[in-house]
Structure 1
Amino acid sequence: MKAPTPSLRQRAPELAAWLDEHAEAIDAHQDFAAQILPQLARAHLFRIGVPASLGGDDGSTVEAIEAIASVAAHSLASAFVFWGQRTFIEYLLHSPNEALRKRWLPSLLSGELAGATGLSNAMKYLSSLEPLQMNATPLNGDGAARRWTLNGSLPWITNLRREGFLAAAAFDHSDGAPPSIFALPHDTPGLVRSDDLDLIALRSSNTAALRLDGAVLDSAWQITDDARGFLVRVRPAFLGLQCGMSIGLARRALAAIDASSAAARAAVEDEAPELASELAVLSKRLFDGVEHGTFLAAPAALFEVRIALAALVDAAVRLEVQTTGGRGYLRGQSGCARRTREAAFVPIVTPSIVQLKNQLAQHRQTKAA
C-alpha cells in the first residue's frame, strides 16, 4: 500500500510556517516577489521528480504534482511560481539539447535562476486555438553556428524574476521550417520585460509581459527544433503540474470547512463529504494518467480532469465562505477571502476553462464525424 503523501508542514515545516505568515502579503503585494523562489528551493522542492543523475531527488512527476498541491494549500501565488519553475525544469528534462540542460539545470534546481514557462501560447497553438505570437528569421550559419533573429511578444508570463530568468517561448520560422522552442535569457539584447501586471491577486508571482525586438540567439539556446512533437510530450506534465494548484487549494478549503463550528459543519454535512470524495477520485484519475502515460494519446481525458477540478475548487471555496460566515469578511481573521481570490484565478490560467471546453467540443464533433 502506498504511503500517504506528507503535508508541507511535515516535509518542510519552516517553509510552511513562512508561507502561512506571509500568504496574505504574497497575494496582495509585490514585496515578497524576490523571496518565494529561494524559499521553495531551500526545501528542495524543485528537485522532486528529477533524476538523481541530473541533480534531483528522484521520484516521479506525480510526486512533483503533490508537492505543488502542498504549497497551494498555503499560498496559491507561491504554488504558481513553483509550477512555472518546475515546468521549465521539465522542458529541459525532455530537451534533446544536452548542453543547455547541463549548463542551466543546476541553477534552476537550486533556485538561483528562475524558469518561466512561456508556452501557454504554444499550448493553445497545439490545440489550434491561436497562432504562434513569436517569429524567428534565420541568419547566416548552419549546425551549431545557426542563429536567428527573434521578434514578437507574450502578454502574460509568470516567474520572470528580476534577479534573473530563462523563459521558454515557441517560434514560427519565416523560412518555412517547423516551429521551434527557445530558452530566452533575461539579459538578451532586444528582450524587454514589462512592469509586473496589475493583478487582483497573486501579486508576488513576478508575472509580466515579454517583448522581443530583434533579439539574436543561436542553436545553443534552442530547447527543441520540433515544437509540435515536444509539446505533445510535455503537455501531460504541463497540465498535470498545473492541476496541483487546484488540488491543493480545494484541500485547504475543505480542511477549513472541517475546522469550522459544529453547527456550520452540520449545515453542509452532505455537501462537504461529497466534494472530498470527488476530489479524491479526480486526483487519482490525474495521477494515474500522468504516471501511466495515458494522457499522451488521450489529451481530452486530461482536459476533462482540469475542467472538473476547476469546478470543484469553486464549489469548495464557496462552501468555505458559507461555513466561515462573517469572520471571513474581517481582515486577518481567516484566509477565506484570499482563497476566494485565488479560486477566481483557477479558471483563467492558460489553457483556460473556456478554451478547454471549446477544444473538447471540437474533439467530440470530430469523433462524431
Structure 2
Amino acid sequence: MALDTSLPLNSLGFAKPPAETRVVVAMSGGVDSSVVAAMLKEEGYDVVGVTLQLYDHGAALAKKGACCAGLDIHDARRVAEEMGFPHYVLDYENTFREAVIDEFADSYLAGATPVPCIRCNERVKFKDLLETARDLDADCMATGHYIQRVAAPGGAQLHSAADAARDQSYFLFSTTPEQLDYLRFPLGHLASKAETRSLAARYGLGVADKPDSQDICFVPDGNYAAVIEKLRPGAADPGEIVHVDGRVLAEHRGVIHYTVGQRRGLGIGGLDEPLYVVRLDVDKRQVVVGPKELLATRTIPVREINWLGDAPFESRESWRLDVKVRSTRPPREALIRPRGTHEAEVELVVAEDGVSPGQACVFYDPESPRILGGGWIWRGY
C-alpha cells in the first residue's frame, strides 16, 4: 500500500505514524544500542530487538564490556523486558567464524593487521542481520553507532558523528548505498557519550553505567596471538629478527606477535639506534626491523573500494580527498587515483608512519563531514 505523502515525516523519515513504523534495533547489550531501542520505543515506534550470538568461548561468558555473548545477551534481553518490546537472539556463531574470525587469523598469519570490526559490520550485521530485519517486515534497522545518515536528493549520505571523539566512520566505510537507505543511526547527532548515558539513566536502564567495549569482541583479554595460535596451531613458530641491512639480531617467538610500527617488546636492546618493525616476511618467518624513517609511506595501494560519492569513482583521473589510514589518526590530505571501479593508488601529501596491509583507508570530503567510502590497504601491484 502506498504511503500517504501528505503526512509529515516521522523521526525515522517515514510518512506515517511511529506506531505504524516497525524498526528492528540491533542490540549488542551495551548502553548505545540499548538507548536507541528505548528512545524509539518511547517515541511510539513498533520496536523489535535482535541480538546476534556471535561467539561463546570461555571468559567471554563472564566478561563485561565485550558484546554479543553471555552477559551481554542477558543485558539486551533485560532492556527489552524493561521497555516492553519483543527481543530475539539469533545464533550466528558459524557465520561469524567463517566471515570474520577465520579471515582475522589468516590475515595475521599473512603479516597483515586486520580490522575485524569492519568485516563484522560489512558481512554480518549489515548483511545477514539486515536481511533478517526485512524478513520481519521492518521499515528500517537502527543501530547504536556514532555516525550520521543524512537524507539527500541523490540518496542517503554518510556523515561523521557530531562528537568527533566518538565518531565510528572508519569502521563503517563499507556500508553500501543500498544498506544506507535502510539503516538509521539515532545517536549520531549527540554531542557526547555522557549524553547517551544520561538518556539511559532517564529511561531507567540497568546498563546506564556499563563500561564501553575496549577489545575485539572475540579477543576479550586483548591477547590476539593466543587466539590465532588456538585457531591455527603452529602459527607461533619462532624465527629471526633481522635488521634491514641483513644482520640477524635475535630470535622471535612467532611473527603473529608483531605488527608494523612496533618498537616495544622486540627484545633487541643494547643497540645504538631505536628500531621499529618495518616489515613482516611471513614466508621466511622474519621480523624485519630498521630506523623510524623507513616506516614513512606516501603511496598506498587500496582495493575492495566502496564508493559513496555522487559521480562514479572512475569518472575522474584523480580525487583530492582526506583519508584516514588508522582509526586513531586524523584525516590527512591525499590524491586518490582510481585503477578501475574498486582499486586505487592513494598518494598522501605528507607521509604517514606504520601504514600496514590489512588496515582500512577511509575517504572523507575535505569540505564537509561526508564520508565518501574507502577500501583496504594491501601490499601493492
Category of TM-score, reference length = shorter chain: under 0.3
Structure of higher CA gyration radius: 2
| TM-score calculated relative to the size of structure 1 | 0.26
Q: Which has the higher strand share?
A: 2
Point out which structure has higher relative CO (alpha carbons under 8 A, 6+ apart): 1
* TM-score, length basis structure 2: 0.26
